Amino acid sequence: MSTAIWAAAAVAFASSLLAVVALRPVLRRYAVVDAPNERSSHTDVTLRGGGIAPLIGIAGGTITALLTPASLPIAAMIAVVAGALLAAVVGLIEDVRGLRVPVRAFAQLIAGAAIAVPLAIIFQQPWWAAVGATIAIMMFINIANFMDGINGISGVHAALIGGAYAVVGLLAGLPWATALGLVVAGAFLGFLPWNVTKPGLFLGDVGSYLLGAITAGIGVAILWAGVDPVVAVSPLAIYLADTLFTLARRASRGEAILQSHRSHSYQRLTDTGLGHAAVTAMVGGFTVLTSAVGVLREAALIPAALAWALILGICALYLALPRMRGNRLPPRQSMAIPSILEPLPTGARPDHDPRIWAVIGATGFVGSAVVARLRADGVDVRTLQAPRVLLPVAAESPTDIAALAQQSEARADLAARLDGVDVVINAAGLATPGAPPTAELYGANALLPALVLQASADASVRRVIHLSSAAVQGHRPVLDESLDAQPFSPYSRSKALGERAFFSVPRSDITDAIVIRATSVQGAGRPTTESLKRISRSPLASVAGDGAQPTVVSSIGGLVDFVVRVAKSTGEVGPVMLQPWEGLSTADVLREARGTEPVHLPLWLCRITLRVARGAGRVIPEVAGVERRVALMWLGQRQTSAYEEEYSVDGSGLRRLLSGQGGLG
């Protein structure tokens, strides 16, 4: 091994080590910090962006290697390092100001291509290999980011990967691979002391993106240079196994695979009581084992089949460690909800004349619109903040949830605030269709409705209206006013459970309990409305067949008018009432929003596409939400209501809203 290579590694180490001295004040000045949350493995606010230090180290080490008299083959080195530095810049922007997910993904793809395409040219690989390598590098950038969750893990891992590739390069006669490996090892070793000692410094996205891009880039380069695939993969095997196994397990359990979590094997190990140093040492130890298998294969001491078998066995043992230490994942949550007796409608109340109203959740989109309407009508209305309540996501019995509402500490205070009120409208809840199952989601959408009704009954309120969502009936071809529910996501399940818990609250005949299911409500400034506007004006705007199917798109004005009329009604109402259809078809919605005719797709093509997407949504929950929105745009959803004639709504307000005359534009 030449002196030039050792000089490059030394420069990388020293540059990275010393760069932090100048870097810390800059990061502190611009408040580039990582605040702990429920998914974090740290408890203190810590500076992030420290990955700039190994970036400087790798740049300095590479320049040193290229400028020394004992010249090395430079093309592959430049391709890998240049692309990795580009990935690091993307990570730095994410650390400092953040990037939207599509922009970030595209930038990562460009960084992957910046490595893969030049390497494909250098090693004369076909275009499809370059495409595959681009995607692989992009994926490993994200894998390195996922795995960078505890102190020391990425620094140690990078040093071990770099060392392994350096040995492989030596055995394979690839001096540039040896140089790159030692430069990477030196740069991340230089950063490591700052990461593991107080007050701490995190790599941040700049460092994890750099690590993922440069190690994956070296792996692709040595693979195309003729190294056995098992040798190229071996140093990366533990990070690959932890991430891919975790994603596969979450998908099989119906969990959102694209949302942050704490179920990686290394995170579960910390949950068993092991410290960061111990878990880092375990991950590092298993990386040494897989790397050693690769080195043995490169030295022709074991056959390829045995090498693969050994790596798979080592990874399997690593993945089993959390369970061996007693960490068990909770059982998979079912979307099923226990049934209850169908509630009866509220009989006529000729003397019903509400004077004092209360709106819970009055600062939200729907709640604020209801309050504005009531005040415009001169009504005495109280605006109440909803109590914050939590409910375990494992809760599934409506009667048990109603019992929890009876026992809630917030019950008495809420009842006192509702004293003297005639009508309560519960517009509170978390309107986040893509949310993961959390105690906050279930508390707001499943427990709070029961608590509101219980407190209202205590205060002798005459009528309580709980605003739910038509999403509880999922993919039914026809929405109706039964309690039949087909939830397809944690959000829709929490809303369906909230309805049944609401009707499970024991109360006297004094208090009416009514659920109003809102459809796809649109209004000026609402994010879903802005999204509808963008889609309607894009090439994606399309309908199935002739587009004559009824749409569930509705206006905030129509919903508020319906709520107020039901609240004032002296006739029979409820128990469940569906927001009235406003008369528009799927094609009407897009015509009004875009001003031109939408694209008409074959009905059979739309149905097949949605069927495939629905199947994928059972494995990848994020797809379920997208499929639901596309299905509503293409096919709409028919509605039937026992009250549709009495509460019919003129669709002119929705047309004005969609065309921009009602504030949308």
Q: Is the pLDDT of residue 1 over 70?
A: no
Quick: pLDDT tens for 229-258. 999 999 999 999 999 999 888 877 767 676
Of 99-103, 377-381, 433-437, 641-645, the least confident: 433-437
Return d(Cα 493, Cα 337) in angstroms, integer.
8
Listed by start position, the domains of the chain span: 3-229, 356-659
Return d(Cα 499, Cα 513) in angstroms, integer.
10
Sign of CA dihedral 289, 290, 296, 299: negative
Q: Is the pLDDT of residue 344 over 70?
A: yes
Cα end-to-end distance, the chain, whole Å: 67
Which helix (H) or strand (E) segment holds residue 426: the answer is: strand 423-426
Return d(Cα 377, Cα 396) in angstroms, integer.
40
Of 64-78, 122-136, 337-351, 405-419, the least confident: 64-78
Between the ranges 34-48, 228-242, 389-403, where is the mean pLDDT highest? 228-242
Confidence of residue 44 (pLDDT cuts 50, 70, 90): low
Contact assessment for residue 494 and residue 442, using Cβ atoms and an 8 Å cutoff: yes
Return d(Cα 167, Cα 170) in angstroms, integer.
5
Which helix (H) or strand (E) segment holds residue 463: the answer is: strand 463-469
Confidence of residue 332 (pLDDT cuts 50, 70, 90): low
Quick: pLDDT tens for 160-188. 999 999 999 999 999 999 999 999 999 99
Q: Cis before residue 575, ω within 30 degrees of 0?
A: yes
Quick: pLDDT tens for 451-498. 999 999 999 999 999 999 999 998 888 999 999 998 888 889 999 999
Quick: pLDDT tens for 260-317. 778 899 999 998 989 999 999 999 999 999 999 999 999 999 999 999 999 999 999 9
653 is written with which tokens? Answer: 């307000």
Return d(Cα 265, Cα 56) in angstroms, integer.
31
Confidence of residue 632 (pLDDT cuts 50, 70, 90): confident
Query: How many other C-beta atoms can be found within 10 angstroms of the C-beta atom of residue 574?
Result: 22
pLDDT, residue 36, reads 61
Confidence of residue 503 (pLDDT cuts 50, 70, 90): very high
User: Any idea which architecture 356-659 has in CATH?
Assistant: 3-Layer(aba) Sandwich (3.40)
> What percent of the residues of the chain are helix, what percent strand, and what percent coil, each to the nearest 5?
60, 10, 35
Distance of CA 535 to the CA centre of its chain: 21
- Helix, strand or coil, per DSSP, at residue 537: coil
Sign of CA dihedral 344, 348, 351, 355: positive
Confidence of residue 665 (pLDDT cuts 50, 70, 90): very low
pLDDT, residue 380, reads 94
Quick: pLDDT tens for 78-91. 999 999 999 999 99
Return d(Cα 317, Cα 605) in angstroms, integer.
46
32 or 62, which is more confident: 62
177 or 199, which is more confident: 177
Quick: pLDDT tens for 510-537. 999 999 999 999 988 788 788 888 888 8
197 or 63, which is more confident: 63
- Helix, strand or coil, per DSSP, at residue 360: strand
Q: Is the pLDDT of residue 664 over 70?
A: no
472 or 45, which is more confident: 472
410 is written with which tokens? Answer: 């917030």
Residues in the chain: 665
Q: Is the pLDDT of residue 43 over 60?
A: no
Confidence of residue 440 (pLDDT cuts 50, 70, 90): very high
Mean pLDDT over residues 93-107, rounded?
Answer: 88
Longest dimension (CA), the chain: 99
Average pLDDT, the chain: 89
Return the ∠ at Cα 197 (arms to 195 and 201), rounded to 5°: 35
Nearest CA-CA partner of 95 in 30, 142, 44:
30
100 or 282, which is more confident: 282
pLDDT, residue 102, reads 83
Return d(Cα 76, Cα 221) in angstroms, integer.
7
Distance of CA 643 to the CA centre of its chain: 39
Alpha helices in 274-432 (DSSP H): 276-298, 304-324, 365-376, 398-407, 410-417
Return d(Cα 113, Cα 92) in angstroms, integer.
19
634 is written with which tokens? Answer: 């293409």
Q: Strand locations in 151-297, DSSP E?
A: none
